[in-house]
Amino acid sequence: MSQILTIMGVLLLSGFSLPAAAENANYTFETEAQERQFRQLINELRCPKCQNQSIADSDAPLALDLRERVYQMTKDGASRDEIIDFMRVRYGDFVHYKPPMNATTMVLWWGPGLVLLLGIGTIIYRVRQQRREPDQLSAIEQQRLDELMAEEKQQSDKERRE
């Protein structure tokens, strides 16, 4: 009985993957270069609706539309840069995994490095500061320490006499 359930489960799960496989099989190209450009672009362009998924990986309706648009533009002979520029005009620099270096994307390019340098600088500053400052006790702490030391000395003298 459990074998039948296992077989049914495998068949059911394999049925879910068929639409995805069939979806990618619908794209036919005149040349190998067109197919290569299409595959590269759908992996390079990000789905504007999804969180960090390419339009090749996303199942969102918008990603399907973008794949279709890239397919049509590729079939019509548009270059890689023309397709990327078209997508950027429509969806902004976010749509491309490699945004251009300009005033609005400087934070994306330089931000992580600056944060890393700031963190390293802070650590170095704190370590040097701790090395320079000797540990000093306040007057109250010093008095309490002296009292404890005196009590300890009395206790040890008492133990020696016994």
Residue pLDDT tens, the chain, 162 long: 556 655 655 555 555 544 444 345 578 888 899 899 999 999 989 888 887 888 998 889 999 999 999 999 999 999 999 999 999 899 887 888 777 777 877 887 788 899 999 999 999 999 888 777 666 778 898 899 899 999 998 888 888 887
CATH no. for 2-95: 1.10.8.640
- Per-domain boundaries in the chain: 2-95, 106-161
Q: Which candidate, 60, 49, 59, 43, places its Cα nearest to that of 97?
A: 43
pTM above 0.85, yes or no: no
